[in-house]
């Protein structure tokens, strides 16, 4: 099934407002869906007999910075039996360092691989995945301060007596 057919099937099943934007004229086309609709879109992607996206290859999360005020979560899906792929993007309000972390529904109940991908996005960017079965740090120690891939991240000076923050040294 090609990209326009997948787009059409999703809007037929869930209504035209389920897709905020469809971007086709790029090397990897993608659909943008609102965070509040992600769970129902994911259910259709996994359970619909014509789609059956049985593989979640990866989740990519990025911070667009305080100026834009958004973060993005991209899901890369594949259907092994049908040979089609899809990238789904969700744009979230970024929230500042003193505000609650951005929240998005977990997809770990549909794709087991989402479990660790979501934990990585939480650990490094501070995106919370609602109803995740074990949302804790996966790469950094449990008591690490902050989320280092956020554009406004300030590294702590010391971690258990170990110097963390280093100044750039220029070669002479």
**CA quadruple 84, 2, 48, 133: dihedral positive or negative?**
positive
Q: Is 155 part of a structural domain of the chain?
A: yes
Confidence (pLDDT) at 44:
98
Confidence (pLDDT) at 171:
63
Q: What is the CATH number of the domain that holds 129?
A: 3.30.460.80
Q: Is 170 part of a structural domain of the chain?
A: no
Domain encompassing residue 33: 3-163
Q: Would you say 137 and 127 are in contact if contact means Cβ atoms under 8 Å apart?
A: no
Q: What is the DSSP letter of 167?
A: P
> Which residues is 60 bridged to in the sheet?
74
Confidence (pLDDT) at 155:
87
Per-residue pLDDT of the chain (172 residues; tens, 9 = 90+): 999 999 999 999 999 999 999 999 999 999 999 999 999 999 999 999 999 999 999 999 999 999 999 999 999 999 999 999 999 999 999 987 678 889 999 999 999 999 999 999 999 999 999 999 999 999 999 999 999 999 999 888 889 999 887 776 666 5
CA-based end-to-end distance of the chain: 58
Confidence (pLDDT) at 90:
98
Q: Is 172 part of a structural domain of the chain?
A: no
Q: Is 12 part of a structural domain of the chain?
A: yes
Q: Is 168 part of a structural domain of the chain?
A: no
Q: Is 128 part of a structural domain of the chain?
A: yes
Confidence (pLDDT) at 5:
97
Q: Give this prediction's pTM.
A: 0.92
When divided into structural domains, the chain yields a total of: 1
Q: Is 169 part of a structural domain of the chain?
A: no
Q: Is 171 part of a structural domain of the chain?
A: no
Confidence (pLDDT) at 107:
98
Q: Would you say 113 and 56 are in contact if contact means Cβ atoms under 8 Å apart?
A: yes
């Amino acid at each position: 099934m090609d990209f326009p057919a997948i787009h059409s099937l999703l809007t037929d099943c869930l209504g035209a407002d389920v897709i905020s934007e469809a971007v086709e004229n790029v090397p990897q086309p993608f659909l943008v869906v609102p965070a509040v609709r992600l769970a129902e879109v994911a259910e259709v992607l996994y359970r619909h007999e014509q789609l059956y996206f049985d593989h979640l290859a990866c989740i990519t999360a990025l911070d667009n910075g305080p100026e834009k005020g958004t973060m993005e979560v991209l899901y890369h899906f594949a259907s092994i039996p049908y040979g089609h792929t899809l990238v789904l993007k969700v744009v979230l309000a970024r929230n500042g360092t003193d505000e609650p972390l951005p929240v998005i529904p977990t997809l770990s109940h549909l794709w087991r691989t989402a479990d660790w991908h979501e934990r990585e996005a939480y650990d490094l960017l501070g995106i919370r995945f609602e109803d995740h079965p074990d949302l804790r740090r996966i790469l950094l120690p449990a008591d690490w301060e902050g989320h280092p891939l956020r554009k406004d991240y300030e590294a702590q000076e010391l971690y258990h007596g170990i110097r963390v923050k280093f100044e750039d040294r220029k070669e002479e």
